[in-house]
Amino acid sequence: AQSVTQPDIHITVSEGASLELRCNYSYGATPYLFWYVQSPGQGLQLLLKYFSGDTLVQGIKGFEAEFKRSQSSFNLRKPSVHWSDAAEYFCAVGGSSNTGKLIFGQGTTLQVKP
Amino acid sequence: SAVISQKPSRDICQRGTSLTIQCQVDSQVTMMFWYRQQPGQSLTLIATANQGSEATYESGFVIDKFPISRPNLTFSTLTVSNMSPEDSSIYLCSVVAGYTYEQYFGPGTRLTVT
């Protein structure tokens, strides 16, 4: 079955510290992978995506993610977290079959300590 | 990217009534979707809104409860029918623009059913 797992429901980091949010997927075909951020009361904003090619992808707001096929993972990283990064982060997987459907993980809530 | 608007942004409705949510995109898009985000939960795909034909519903969602229209390539509506408190959620429309597979989300409609 197709699924996305974000093992960490809630993460707290200090401002300026590095961040890694984990995402594992199960998908039978070639996966298209996405990270979205949802700030309180806001819609979802696309941070970055992986379709093919270089397995390290850069996104907006200083985020990057690395696709590791052998581990079925697509972890999100940021070297130095800012207080404004506090939000809910969702990993999602779609397929190359062009249906456009996305399967979302449960989300990780990021809290940033001053 | 695409600019997506939704109306209403929020509403409080009584059980047994229906609410129609509108989704407007600033450009023609190939695919439009409707998602539900229950309180504290992740996103679940309700259906794919097909232009000029019946929507394609995901398991657990039926047309009688969530009728969807898509009269053209820039507009869609989702109706939540015969509402109960369990329908209290955020409803989001999303679009895939062109053939990038990037999916963009509207700001959402926060529905509370009393």
In chain B, pLDDT over 90 holds for what percent of residues? Answer: 80
- Fill in the DSSP letter of residue A27: -
Among all residues of chain B, which has the CA nearest to that of A109? B40
Q: Residue B7 has what pLDDT? A: 97
- Considering only CB atoms, A46 lies closest to which of B43, B45, B102, namely B102
The pLDDT-based confidence of A101 (bands split at 50, 70, 90) is confident
Does B105 sit within 8 Å of A36, measured CB to CB?
yes
Beta pairing partners, A37: A45, A89
- Considering only CB atoms, B42 lies closest to which of A42, A43, A104, namely A104
Residues with Cβ within 8 Å of residue B98, at least 6 apart in sequence: B29, B30
* Phi, psi (deg, nearest 5) at residue B76: -150, 155
Q: Take residue B1 and report the two structure tokens written for it.
A: 């990217």
pLDDT tens for each residue of A83-94: 999 999 999 998
Reduce the DSSP state of residue A83 to 3 states and report it. helix
Is residue B16 predicted with pLDDT exceeding 70? Answer: yes
Distance CA B13, CA B91 (A): 14
- From residue B60, how far is each of A58, B3, B14 by CA, in Å? 36, 29, 23
The pLDDT-based confidence of A46 (bands split at 50, 70, 90) is very high
Among A38-42, B37-41, B97-101, B102-106, which stretch is predicted with the lowest mean pLDDT? B97-101
The one-letter amino acid code at A55 reads T
Does A44 sit within 8 Å of B102, measured CB to CB?
no
In chain B, pLDDT over 70 holds for what percent of residues? Answer: 97
Does A101 sit within 8 Å of B105, measured CB to CB?
no
Q: What is the mean pLDDT of residues A41-48?
A: 89
Is residue A64 predicted with pLDDT exceeding 90? Answer: yes
pLDDT tens for each residue of B20-63: 999 999 998 888 999 999 998 999 999 999 888 889 999 999 99
Q: Take residue B96 and report the two structure tokens written for it.
A: 């895939």
Q: Residue B99 has what pLDDT? A: 67
HEC letters along chain B: CCCEEEECCEEEECCCCCEEEEEEECCCCCEEEEEEECCCCCEEEEEEECCCCCCEECCCCCCCCCCEEEEECCEEEEEECCCCHHHCEEEEEEEECCCCCCEEECCCEEEEEC
